[in-house]
């Protein structure tokens, strides 16, 4: 019997398995009721009394050792199958996680905000779901102005009062002016909506930044200098600007600003349609009607406003040809833009 115990000990010590199922087979073979060790326990009853002490000890040792060994094998087998299944390598050193990148529209938006912040403008925001007053009426839009039309504006409700998605961030001008008095110097970034067919050149939502400066003696010269400073900070120190007369209901006089094409340096290319200039924003002196409708004394105060599309500026900086790229969340596109902010 001693030999048998020793033989089982050696056997169990040298067991090797490759799966949890094999461990279970071994447990049954050695430790179950009909297993080899139980068999020896049965034989032990008939052993001569003077041998019982020594043999009993050895048997117990064998049983404990077998139980430990089977447990160890079970741990090894379950560990290795998990590693195999998940491809997990627990010995690998941790590597730095790849960092995400900023969305190009946010990079450009932050840059615009930075430039205006240096001139003392602070950020103001307003709701995307608006009413007629803030988007149109307070901004001097005539009752029959085409911009109010169904073709441009997404209406959420028409009765009893209009509720709509704002079509421009100029609505934030009203929101700020009706609750504060000059000096006002704000910049309003935000998303706007228009009912347009989606294509490479138009989308039903896009982003704008609006700037507003109202104080005593604000003149067109202040506007021009601000525009020049912005253009040079944004597109480089050699950038030229030009203002063309235009019309917006909320500014008088109104202008559109072009910058010298930053792709060809003003020489003329396909991007600027060989004119050397590209349009980037609308601006003007705040119409006295707008100041008055917001409770600001237009005989004492004057102001300028400007508004630009962030997508447009981003296209100029990065030459993104298809507007839809901005909202498709394609990592291959987005990961090309790196910025510290």
Residues that bind ligand DAH (CB under 6 A): 168, 170, 210, 248, 251, 282-284, 305-307
Cβ 196 to ligand DAH shortest distance, Å: 13
Closest approach of ligand DAH to the CB of residue 270, in Å:
25
Residue nearest to ligand DAH (CB): 307
Instruction: Work out how close the CB of 266 gets to ligand DAH at its nearest, in angstroms, rounded to a whole number.
Output: 24
Cβ proximity to ligand DAH, 37 vs 188, nearer residue: 188
Nearer to ligand DAH, 62 or 223 (CB): 223
Task: Tell me how far, at minimum, the Cβ of 110 lies from ligand DAH, in Å.
Answer: 20
- d(CA 282, CA 38) in angstroms, rounded, equals 93
For ligand DAH, the closer CB: 69 or 169: 169
Nearer to ligand DAH by C-beta: 59 or 115?
A: 115
Cβ at position 229, least distance to ligand DAH in Å = 17
The DSSP line for 97-148 is: PPP----HHHHHHHHHHHHHHHTT-EE----SEEEHHHHTGGGT--TT-GGG
Q: Which is nearer to ligand DAH, 26 or 305 (CB)?
A: 305
Q: Which among 181, 159, 158, 167 is positioned nearest to 136, based on CA atoms?
A: 167
Residues 223 and 254: beta-carbon distance below 8 Å: no
Question: How distant is the alpha carbon of residue 48 from its chain centre?
Answer: 81
Please, which residues have CB within 8 angstroms of residue 138's CB and are 6 or more apart in sequence?
174, 178, 290, 293, 294
Q: Which residues make Cβ contacts (< 8 Å) with residue 13, sequence separation at least 6?
A: 65, 69
Q: How far is the CB of 312 from ligand DAH (least distance, A)?
A: 11
- Which is nearer to ligand DAH, 8 or 176 (by Cβ)? 176
Question: Given the structure tokens 């997990």, which residue do they identify?
Answer: 88
Give the nearest distance from C-beta 299 to ligand DAH in angstroms: 21
Q: Where are the alpha helices (DSSP H) in the chain?
A: 2-13, 20-31, 36-44, 49-86, 104-118, 132-135, 171-177, 220-235, 288-293, 310-318, 331-334
Q: Please tell me the distance from the alpha carbon of residue 237 to that of residue 231, in angstroms, as a whole number.
A: 8
Q: Looking at beta carbons only, is 5 or 243 nearer to ligand DAH?
A: 243
Compute CA distances 300 → 80, 138, 212, 217, 332, whole Å.
81, 19, 17, 8, 53
Q: Which phi and psi angles does 92 have, rounded to 5°?
A: -70, 140
Between 66 and 187, name the residue whose CB sits nearer to ligand DAH: 187
234 touches 109 (CB < 8 A): no
Instruction: State the minimum distance, in angstroms, from the CB of residue 218 to ligand DAH.
Output: 13
| C-alpha span between 139 and 212 (Å, rounded) | 13
């Amino acid at each position: 019997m001693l030999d048998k115990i020793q033989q089982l000990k050696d056997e169990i010590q040298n067991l090797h398995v490759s799966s949890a199922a094999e461990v279970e087979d071994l447990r049954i073979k050695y430790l179950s009721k009909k297993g080899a060790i139980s068999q020896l326990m049965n034989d032990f009853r008939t052993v001569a009394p003077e041998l019982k002490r020594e043999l009993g000890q050895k048997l117990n040792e064998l049983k404990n050792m077998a139980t430990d060994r089977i447990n160890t094998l079970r741990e090894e087998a379950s560990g290795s199958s998990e590693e195999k299944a998940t491809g997990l390598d627990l010995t690998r050193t941790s590597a730095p996680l790849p960092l995400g990148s900023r969305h190009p529209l946010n990079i450009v938006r932050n840059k615009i905000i930075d430039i205006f912040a240096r001139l003392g403008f602070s950020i103001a925001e307003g709701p995307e779901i608006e009413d007629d007053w803030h988007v149109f009426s307070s901004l001097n839009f005539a009752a029959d102005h085409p911009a109010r039309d169904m073709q441009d504006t997404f209406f959420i409700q028409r009765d009893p009062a209009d509720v709509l998605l704002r079509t421009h961030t100029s609505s934030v001008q009203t929101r700020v002016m009706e609750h504060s008095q000059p000096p006002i110097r704000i910049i309003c970034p935000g998303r706007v909506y228009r009912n347009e067919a989606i294509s490479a050149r138009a989308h039903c939502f896009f982003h704008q930044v609006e700037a507003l400066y109202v104080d005593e003696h604000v003149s067109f010269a202040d506007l021009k200098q601000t525009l020049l400073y912005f253009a040079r900070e944004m597109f480089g120190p050699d950038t030229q600007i030009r203002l063309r007369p235009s019309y917006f209901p909320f500014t008088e006089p109104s202008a559109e600003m072009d910058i010298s094409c930053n792709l060809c340096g003003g020489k003329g290319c396909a991007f600027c349609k060989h004119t050397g200039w590209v349009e980037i924003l609308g601006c003007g002196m705040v119409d006295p009607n707008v100041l008055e409708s917001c409770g600001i004394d237009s005989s004492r105060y004057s102001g300028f406003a400007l508004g630009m599309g962030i997508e447009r500026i981003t296209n100029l900086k990065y030459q993104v040809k298809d507007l839809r790229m901005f909202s498709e969340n394609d990592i291959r596109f987005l990961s090309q833009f790196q910025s510290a902010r």
